A and B are shown apart, each in its own frame.
Chain A
Amino acid sequence: NAGVTQTPKFQVLKTGQSMTLQCAQDMNHEYMSWYRQDPGMGLRLIHYSVGAGITDQGEVPNGYNVSRSTTEDFPLRLLSAAPSQTSVYFCASSYSRRLSNNEQFFGPGTRLTVL
């Protein structure tokens, strides 16, 4: 298994540009999520999905869109990049069974810089 993969690893954008961060997992996990990591603030949840066709907002969703057309893929879209979106982005996945201490598996992260 490749686990959770993310592309690209690094990206530089200009303000106003759009792009999609890709995330895929091959573990047949129902639950997938996107976090951003900023210095001194830990990881914060952007959006999450409990299954194909179902998405919901996390703590910091503004400026980001997601979709979940398949179980494997969960792309994160920046419609009009802003310098405040400069961050490291992590995708994570896990089984989605209640009453179980499922581990979330994280991808390697994407470092995004918006100029």
Chain B
Amino acid sequence: AQTVTQSQPEMSVQEAETVTLSCTYDTSESDYYLFWYKQPPSRQMILVIRQEAYKQQNATENRFSVNFQKAAKSFSLKISDSQLGDAAMYFCARRSDQGAQKLVFGQGTRLTINP
């Protein structure tokens, strides 16, 4: 099975500091998509950032950026200037470029922001 692994079940960071969440994945494909989703206590799944595997440039969305290392199959999320509202579960996910848009998720990382 092609898997996505998040090795950090929990992380914490001081408000205004920077934190990096790790994600590695397994795939035999050359083209695919990677995503980070945020799940606050409301349970709603919110897309944070996405990366196309064929793009070498790392994606950025305001305070959120990724470090995409295709050869190493690594896709980490960096949150800069952490805010209390960033506290949530974060899920890394991979989607195949082939056919149906099935997402494979990692186990999740619970991020706590300390004031």
Give residues in A with beta carbon < 8 Å to B: 31, 33, 35, 40-45, 48, 50, 56, 58-59, 88, 90, 92, 94, 96, 98-99, 101-104, 106, 108-109, 111
Contacts and interface: CB of A to CB of B under 8 A. Distances in A.
Given A101-B52, A108-B43, A42 B105 contact: yes
B70 to A, nearest CB: 15
Interface string B72-115: 00000000000000000001010001011111111110000000
Interface of B: 1, 4, 6, 9, 33, 42-45, 47, 50, 52, 91, 93, 97, 99-108
Contacts, number: 61
A45 B102 CA distance: 7
B91 A31 contact: no
Nearest to A90: B45
B52 A43 contact: no
Given A42-B106, A42-B107, A42-B108, A94 B101 contact: yes
Given A101-B33, A108-B43, A108-B44, A40 B107 contact: yes
